[in-house]
Amino acid sequence: MALRTAPRVRSDAVPLRAFRSKGRPSAIAGVGTYAPDRVMTNADLAKIVETSDEWIVERTGIRRRHLAEPGTTTFELATRAAREALQNAEVSAEELDLIVVATSSPDGPFPSVACRVQNELGVPGACAFDVLAACTGFVYGLSLADAFIASGRADTVLVIGAEVLSRMLDWQDRATSIIFGDGAGAAVVRAARRGAGFRAWCLGSDGRGYDKVTAGDIPRGAYAAHQAQPLIAQKGPDVFKFATDIFIRQAYAVADAAGAAIEDIDLFVPHQANRRIIEAAARRVGLPMERVQVNLDEYGNTSTASIPLALGDALKSNRIKSGDQVLLAGFGSGLTWGACLLEWE
């Protein structure tokens, strides 16, 4: 029995699809992270936009964010995180069969960031491509790694979430400039022993909410000739409502698919968008905050990088041990969502 009864679903809510992992099991073998050295505090922001440290902390929980130096590319951050993940997994780049990069801030429409990372790692030949699912992208990337390994099409996969969102911000817009930061996180996924690794998934999207979080002029396209750089815009109250609801529903859905109960979850690692969203979701699911990883006070919302950055911090602080049941869950523009439950190997 779960701690609480699953929430009643609204009549207009899109149905969730959750399923068990099948085939050869896979697990995360190593995690790497990178955040730029440059830091912007809330006090720094208050000098350029009408806000204050107290106002930002109360509404978001964010105190600082790391920003890349002007001219820094997304693939540079991605490569730094990738190298650390490979080192921690004790895997050589030559062993990679697939590289997946999730990003909302690519260095251009093409080529893919993944191909540039592959070149930097010096391993031509491996399959490499990008995934665009906004803040859910890293979980989508992990699901692809699990599927490739399950089918036997790959043995070792590198999944990266990397962002330079600071170049997409209107620094006079208080609604967005206080939220986002830059960073990258990566995970090496390999075949796992039976009974360990990824147990279940919940993945989906609802295009009816495509206009809730956007970057650029939607009618003309983000890379329209008249627009030098797409800028992030969002409808905050709508996003808050959606995020809280989807966090709760997919937590129950993925636990049920895995044959687990909510109280079985040892650590919940959510997308780091807003502390109030995370606290509300944890409270309604029935998870104490002692079992929730939160680090957005340091990094802000780093989109695809937020879950691997949080996972990396949890590992560095010894919050995860072998056999722990770990829930990763995200949501993002699209609207998209994705969650997985894994037993840490």
Annotated active-site positions, please? 135, 271, 301
The verdict on whether omega for the bond into residue 288 sits within 30 degrees of 0, i.e. cis, is: no
> CA–CA separation, 339 vs 247, rounded Å?
9
Going by C-alpha positions, the residue among 331, 329, 323, 332 that lies closest to residue 341 is 329
**Cα separations in angstroms, 92 against 18, 147, 238:** 33, 21, 44
**Cα separations in angstroms, 285 against 22, 248, 278:** 27, 6, 11
> Are the C-beta atoms of 153 and 81 separated by less than 8 Å?
no
SS (H, E, C) 207-254: HHHCCCEEECECCCECCCCCCCCCCEEECHHHHHHHHHHHHHHHHHHH
> CA–CA separation, 297 vs 283, rounded Å?
19
Single-letter residue type at 58:
E
**Cα separations in angstroms, 245 against 6, 224, 278, 283, 284:** 11, 34, 11, 12, 10
> CA–CA separation, 250 vs 258, rounded Å?
12
Going by C-alpha positions, the residue among 59, 72, 71, 64 that lies closest to residue 44 is 64
Residues with Cβ within 8 Å of residue 9, at least 6 apart in sequence: 249
For the beta carbon of residue 204, count every other beta carbon within 10 angstroms: 20
Count, residues in the chain: 345
In the numeric block, the tokens 């429409």 are attached to 109
